[in-house]
């Protein structure tokens, strides 16, 4: 039974690791620009927020879960924060770049790992769509796991471990770009990432304003890709 739960969780971990969202791009950016340890600190923050979401999904009542999952205001709030974060990053990145005398010079990064951990946590936590994802997983896989605490713990631990292992691979690959990153290239990378974050924020905002249309599209995609036990 335990092995069955583990094998069922591994594909889900791979899917989670390659879900295209702001965290996906920021993780690659952090590894390429600031290094492997910085990216790992960010990733630990992301995983910690996932653990919090899983606990919320598991411990809350069905009525509360449904209310959280379908409340458009939460998507509007999360989308607005992501859009604001992306715009602020764009402006800050441009200001920093304009102060550099020679944009062809390599930049040495100084890292605050705790700050990166918090950044990863908040960047994932404000994306209410992630909570919706874990709620969906609880609803789909909970009954097949008979809602037994040990089986659920094994299942979600395997999902997160698989996710983390795949992330390490992405981080190491992105790190290889570091030697080619001048100030100008770093500016361009950060600029693209900031724009992508704004785009994801707009998507969340749209999900809050037009919830039914977006939900139908997402549910159809999940049904096509979701592994079964």
| Phi, psi (rounded to 5 degrees) for 106 | -70, 145
Residue 2's nearest CA partner among 221, 124, 155 is 155
Statement: residue 63 has pLDDT above 60: no
pLDDT value of position 191:
81
Higher per-residue pLDDT: 146 or 67: 146
CA distances from 6 to 15, 46, 157 (A): 15, 22, 9
Which of 43-52, 53-62, 148-157 has the least mean pLDDT? 53-62
Domain count, the chain: 1
Statement: residue 134 has pLDDT above 90: no
% of the chain at pLDDT higher than 70: 70
Identify which of 165-169, 172-176, 206-210 has the greatest average pLDDT: 165-169
Q: Which domain holds residue 189?
A: 2-225
pLDDT value of position 162:
94
Statement: residue 114 has pLDDT above 50: yes
- Residue pLDDT, tens place only, 48-57: 999 998 888 7
List, as own/partner pairs, every contact residues 143-148 make where C-beta atoms lie below 8 angstroms and the sequence separation is at least 24, other chains included.
144/229, 145/5, 145/229
Taking the complete model, does pTM exceed 0.85, yes or no?
no
- Residue pLDDT, tens place only, 178-203: 666 556 666 777 788 778 778 877 88
pLDDT value of position 12:
82
pLDDT value of position 102:
46
Q: Sorting pLDDT into bands at 50, 70 and 90, what band is 105?
A: very low
Contact by Cβ (8 Å): 57, 65: yes
Statement: residue 89 has pLDDT above 70: yes
**Residues 44, 192: Cα–Cα separation, whole Å:** 24
Q: What is the mean pLDDT of the chain?
A: 76
- Residue pLDDT, tens place only, 23-32: 888 888 888 8
Give 182's strand partners. Answer: 106
């Amino acid at each position: 039974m335990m092995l069955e739960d583990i094998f069922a969780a591994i594909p889900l971990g791979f899917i989670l690791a390659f879900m295209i969202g702001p965290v996906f791009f920021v993780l690659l950016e952090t590894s390429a620009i600031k290094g492997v340890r910085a990216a790992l600190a960010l990733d630990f923050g992301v995983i910690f927020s996932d653990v919090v979401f899983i606990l919320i999904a598991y411990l809350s009542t069905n009525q509360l879960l449904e209310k959280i999952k379908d409340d458009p205001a939460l998507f509007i709030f999360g989308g607005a924060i992501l859009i604001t974060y992306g715009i602020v990053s764009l402006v800050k990145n441009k200001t920093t770049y304009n102060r550099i005398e020679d944009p062809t010079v390599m930049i040495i990064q100084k890292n605050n790992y705790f700050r990166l951990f918090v950044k990863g946590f908040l960047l994932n936590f404000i994306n209410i769509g992630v909570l919706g994802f874990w709620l969906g997983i609880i609803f789909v896989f909970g009954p097949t796991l008979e809602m037994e605490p040990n089986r659920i713990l094994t299942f979600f631990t395997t999902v997160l471990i698989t996710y983390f292992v795949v992330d390490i691979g992405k981080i190491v690959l992105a790190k290889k770009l570091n030697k080619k990153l001048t100030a100008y290239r770093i500016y361009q990378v950060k600029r693209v990432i900031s724009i992508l974050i704004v785009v994801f924020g707009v998507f969340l905002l749209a999900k809050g304003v037009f919830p039914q249309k977006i939900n139908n599209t997402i549910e159809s995609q999940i049904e096509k890709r979701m592994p079964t036990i």
